[in-house]
Amino acid sequence: MLEKSFITFAIPYYSKPKYLVEAIESVFSQTCETWRIHIFDDNPNNPLDLDLINSYLEDSRVTYSLNSSNLGIAKNWNQCLESAKTDLVTILHSDDCLLPDYMEMIYDSASRFEEASAYFCQTEIIDSKGNQIFSFVDFVKRYFRPKGDLFRVEGESGLLSLLKGNYIMCPTICYKMSKVKKLRFNERWLMVLDLDFYFRVLLSGNHLVGSDKPVYKYRRHKENQTSILNDNLKRFKEEIDIYASISKDCVDIGWNRAAKVARKKQIVKAHLIFLSLKDLLSLRLRSVTKKLRLILQN
């Protein structure tokens, strides 16, 4: 039986212990105390120095596990979900932080939309030093999300809005395991496993609920997975592949409007053009060529 009153913060960890400590501290700083933390260390060759978190491990609500081998993103995230003893689970990224009222937002959303499969919020964007910064890409995405203090993302219309610009920051999501059931992240993906997950939630007839409150701090820095996969174009190649796959699946079930948007891949191409312009201003001509070639091929 899953605990209904607690939230598990499952933290997949690989490196950057300083950020991990900040993430843990942000859970301890919540206005609610009904939480549990489970850290899943996916770097057995260079594991976390436990001396850095011993003071937190003295709290019975905090546990640490070292994977015997490197599982990779999807398997480690799936482990985060499967190991939880609570109905509500947030996969808190180890380089991010919560604002103190994150749990309040989740509890409020869950009480008003009990049938949702997951709940998410808006974010503050921070840099490597924790300073709030402006992100043009994240600013633009806010115009694609539905209006309201709390809003449902469901069916073809919900998928359509996500395909126009995925406005859900995946680490903000709190999963409701009694609704998610056996749905898990697809190991095929490195960067778009979140969009694939949302698609399958909507395809199953379930829905997500979003809040307009920014109660999560998402860190953008050169060493995070997003930046690395942006630079080598792996992220965009995956987006192109998943948009093609979603388009085909939408045709099969009669979601023709969503199929059309997925087939055109306009948001992916627009992002590549934006980054190409930035490269051009910095005279990174080889990078410009690679991005434009990817656009023309698709």
The enclosing domain of 74 has a CATH number of: 3.90.550.10
Write down which residue in 202, 221, 240 finishes a domain: 221
Shared-domain flag, residues 14 and 110: yes
pLDDT score at 148: 94
Give the DSSP H/E element, type plus range, for residue 125: strand 118-126
Shared-domain flag, residues 201 and 293: no
pLDDT score at 36: 98
Shared-domain flag, residues 20 and 115: yes
Q: Which domain holds residue 88?
A: 3-221
Shared-domain flag, residues 36 and 100: yes
The one-letter amino acid code at 2 reads L
Instruction: Determine contact, residues 165/78, Cβ cutoff 8 Å.
Output: no
Q: Which residue has the higher pLDDT, 88 or 278?
A: 88
The tens digit of pLDDT for each residue in 78-123 reads 999 999 999 999 999 999 999 999 999 999 999 999 999 999 999 9
pTM, full prediction: 0.93
Shared-domain flag, residues 66 and 197: yes
Q: Is 98 helix (H, G, I), strand (E, B) or coil?
A: strand
Shared-domain flag, residues 36 and 179: yes
Within 113-152, residue ranges assigned H as helices are 136-141
Shared-domain flag, residues 94 and 9: yes
Shared-domain flag, residues 161 and 237: no
Phi, psi at residue 93, to the nearest 5°?
A: -70, 140
Closest CA to 278 of 265, 295, 291: 291
The tens digit of pLDDT for each residue in 36-76 reads 999 999 999 999 999 999 999 999 999 999 999 999 999 99
Shared-domain flag, residues 256 and 119: no
The domain total for the chain is 2
Shared-domain flag, residues 69 and 170: yes
pLDDT score at 224: 56
Q: How far apart are CA 248 and CA 235, in angstroms?
A: 20
Q: Is 150 helix (H, G, I), strand (E, B) or coil?
A: strand
pLDDT band at residue 4 using 50, 70 and 90 as cut-offs: confident
pLDDT score at 79: 98
The tens digit of pLDDT for each residue in 19-39 reads 999 999 999 999 999 999 999
Checking if the pLDDT of 215 tops 80, the result is: yes
pLDDT score at 141: 87
Shared-domain flag, residues 282 and 162: no
| Tokens read off for 51 | 């001396």
pLDDT score at 74: 97
Shared-domain flag, residues 192 and 275: no
Closest CA to 179 of 121, 114, 120: 114
Among residues of the chain, what percentage have pLDDT more than 90?
A: 84
Write down which residue in 173, 202, 221 finishes a domain: 221
Average pLDDT, rounded, for the chain: 94
Write down which residue in 192, 221, 250 finishes a domain: 221
- What does the pLDDT average to over 203-232? 82
